[in-house]
Chains A and B, each alone.
Chain A
Amino acid sequence: MEYVLRTEGLTKSYRGNRVLNGVTMNIRRGDIYGFVGENGSGKTTVIRLITGLIYADSGEFTLFDTKSSDPAILAARARVGAIVEAPSIYLNMSAKENLLMQSGILGLHGNEERCYLTLATVGLGDLWGSKKHAGDFSLGMRQRLGIAMALLGNPEFIILDEPMNGLDPAGIVEIRELILHLNRNMGITFLISSHILTELALVATRYGIISHGRLLQEISAEELERVCHHTTDIKTTDRDALIALLSSDFDHTKMFLIENGVHIESDIDLNDVLGRVIAAGIPITDVNTRRSSIEDYYLSMIGGGRRA
């Protein structure tokens, strides 16, 4: 298995307040790694550590097989593109000038064609000749310009911290399609932190769930699909009879009492169950079935705490 990033026991404190507590995570080449956690859980701190903006108190990470303590980490970092918190753009410059500045930093001075193509890739090709300053752009345009700057160096690994922030619905769709395009067609690995879990679920192939500075779990999208089961609420005027009937099918850990009925936390054959209830003469007043989502799973992982 080829890993783009591996972290081992990363810890970080600010003024005595521990914000990361031994984070160990693994991102494989080709992953779109959804990094999920509540506000202040440590997502951005992990990203800052990887991108070299801050230093860990202890622990280390390996980026493209280069340990963070190795001076060659700078060369490894040159293979990464990132947006950390907000796009780092020159507000007093146009989109074209921003990309030319970034091309200068990357040692690609004057490569206007590449700059134009990158700008076009994020849907801002129309701005190439515009003198409008980035400071006058909408949040969505700034976000896309930031992604263009991150893409300019042809990175193999892109880190996006809350990339959907400030985007309108159309912008969210565009960025999502761009991420999928870059991942599928160019093989770029992504680490994406986001609060919008339902949106993340549309692109992520693996997830890392972090809470209070600890990585609680890494799970693939397929595994998550398996554990996200259906739940069913069946309401009746004779709850005791309903419980007596269903208790032979479901153990008590899967079945909960609710007002005028039962809540079943398991995939069931609804037709079969309802057929037997009706055959037993138990009156049904309401049936409600729902599939648990990544949000439910996340909330169950962090102990029903705050919604991400």
Chain B
Amino acid sequence: MRDLYVTDLKRILKDKLFMVTCILAGVFALITPLLNKVLFEALDMGELLGGMINAKSMLFTSLLPGDNLGLIMPILIAIVVCKDFSQGTVRNKIISGKSRAAIFLSHLLSAATVICTLMLLHALLTLGVSLCFFSYQTTTFTLSDFGYLMVSLVFEMLVYFAIATIVTFIATLAKNMGICILLYLAVTLGLSIIGAVFQVAGAFLDPSAAGYGIVEFLNALNIFTSSLIGAGTTYTAKQVLYILVSPLAITVGGTLLGIRLFAHKNLK
């Protein structure tokens, strides 16, 4: 299993698309805070800078799965995973006597390693660039804020692990790059749109209205909006439960189902 993981990781790192992803990560981290500053100042909305628009909001926006790198990178990594099937190199693993489960897990772990690491580096770079233009938040940055930031980043990484599971699941079973991209876009954009609708509905619905609780619940479970992460200064036990349940369910369920389906799949 370790042999496969190392090999798959090398395969991803050697692919040109990985370089493209790294360049995009750098470009988005540099441009996004700068554009925000220029645009808000140009629109005479400079008073929002440092308030609503600050380094903290830039950091967590950069981690949104439906935006910029969060949307593009999983697709690029899915393509690289898919190449193992389209180029037929997965045969080398099967013929060498590796189990289908080990092959699936190796794809998943290598994709998760790359996605989580790059997203984290991208977010930290975005934070660093943002701090050149804005303060982290309106209040003084305390040790408690640091702890909240660290916990939030861990939660975000769990979300991206779940996304890596979706990526691997689709890439392994679709085995075709075109279908793989379409399926991932359908899942990401579909759930992002649903999340946005719920957020708007939540803003307009009276908290005492009958459907409010359901909207709030479904939105909290949607990893593609992950609206609970990084939005406050502390986490309640209920929020932690909401934040953890979806990524863990997707990761465990997707992995088990993926292994089961892949184990019975005929390969070219």
Binding site for B on A (CB under 8 A): 48, 51-55, 74-78, 80-82, 84-86, 88-93, 97, 101-102, 104-107, 109, 149-150, 153
In the complex, the answer to whether A77 meets B7 with C-beta atoms within 8 Å is no
Would you mind naming 30 contact pairs between A and B with Cβ atoms under 8 Å apart? A51-B95, A52-B94, A52-B95, A53-B95, A53-B267, A55-B264, A75-B97, A76-B97, A77-B94, A81-B95, A82-B91, A84-B88, A86-B88, A88-B89, A88-B90, A88-B92, A90-B14, A90-B89, A92-B15, A93-B14, A101-B7, A101-B10, A104-B6, A104-B7, A104-B10, A105-B3, A105-B96, A109-B3, A149-B92, A153-B96
In this complex, what residue of B is CB-closest to A100? B10
Q: How far is the CB of A55 from chain B (nearest CB, A)?
A: 7
For B15, list chain A residues within 8 Å (CB): 92
In the complex, the answer to whether B91 meets A84 with C-beta atoms within 8 Å is yes
In the complex, the answer to whether A101 meets B3 with C-beta atoms within 8 Å is no
In the complex, the answer to whether A74 meets B98 with C-beta atoms within 8 Å is yes
Beta-carbon contacts under 8 Å, B94-151 to A:
94-99
Within the assembled complex, what's the spacing in Å between the Cα atoms of A53 and B96?
11
For A86, list chain B residues within 8 Å (CB): 88
For B3, list chain A residues within 8 Å (CB): 104-107, 109
In the complex, the answer to whether A53 meets B266 with C-beta atoms within 8 Å is yes
Within the assembled complex, what's the spacing in Å between the Cα atoms of A90 and B10?
12
Q: Count how many chain B residues have C-beta atoms less than 8 Å from C-beta atoms of the other chain.
A: 26
In the complex, the answer to whether B266 meets A54 with C-beta atoms within 8 Å is yes
Of the candidates A77, A82, A91, the one whose C-beta lies within 8 Å of that of B87 is A91
Within the assembled complex, what's the spacing in Å between the Cα atoms of A97 and B15?
13
Of the candidates A48, A74, A104, the one whose C-beta lies within 8 Å of that of B97 is A74
Q: Please tell me if B93 contacts chain A, counting CB pairs below 8 Å.
A: yes
In the complex, the answer to whether B95 meets A80 with C-beta atoms within 8 Å is yes
In the complex, the answer to whether B97 meets A77 with C-beta atoms within 8 Å is yes
Interface membership of chain B positions 19-40, coded 1 if the CB is closer than 8 angstroms to chain A and 0 otherwise? 0000000000000000000000
For B14, list chain A residues within 8 Å (CB): 90, 92-93, 97
Q: How far is the CB of A174 from chain B (nearest CB, A)?
A: 23
In the complex, the answer to whether A90 meets B91 with C-beta atoms within 8 Å is no
In the complex, the answer to whether A106 meets B10 with C-beta atoms within 8 Å is no
Q: How far is the CB of A102 from chain B (nearest CB, A)?
A: 6
Q: Which 7 A-B pairs have the closest CB atoms?
A: A78-B97, A104-B7, A77-B97, A54-B266, A88-B88, A74-B97, A88-B91
In the complex, the answer to whether A106 meets B266 with C-beta atoms within 8 Å is no
Within the assembled complex, what's the spacing in Å between the Cα atoms of A238 and B89?
66
For A54, list chain B residues within 8 Å (CB): 266-267
In the complex, the answer to whether A53 meets B87 with C-beta atoms within 8 Å is no
In this complex, what residue of B is CB-closest to A93? B14
Contacts A55-B264, A105-B3; A77 near B91 (Cβ below 8 A):
no
In this complex, what residue of A is CB-closest to B88? A88
In the complex, the answer to whether B96 meets A109 with C-beta atoms within 8 Å is no
In the complex, the answer to whether A101 meets B94 with C-beta atoms within 8 Å is no
Within the assembled complex, what's the spacing in Å between the Cα atoms of A97 and B90?
16
Within the assembled complex, what's the spacing in Å between the Cα atoms of A84 and B96?
13
In this complex, what residue of A is CB-closest to B15? A92
Q: How far is the CB of A248 from chain B (nearest CB, A)?
A: 60
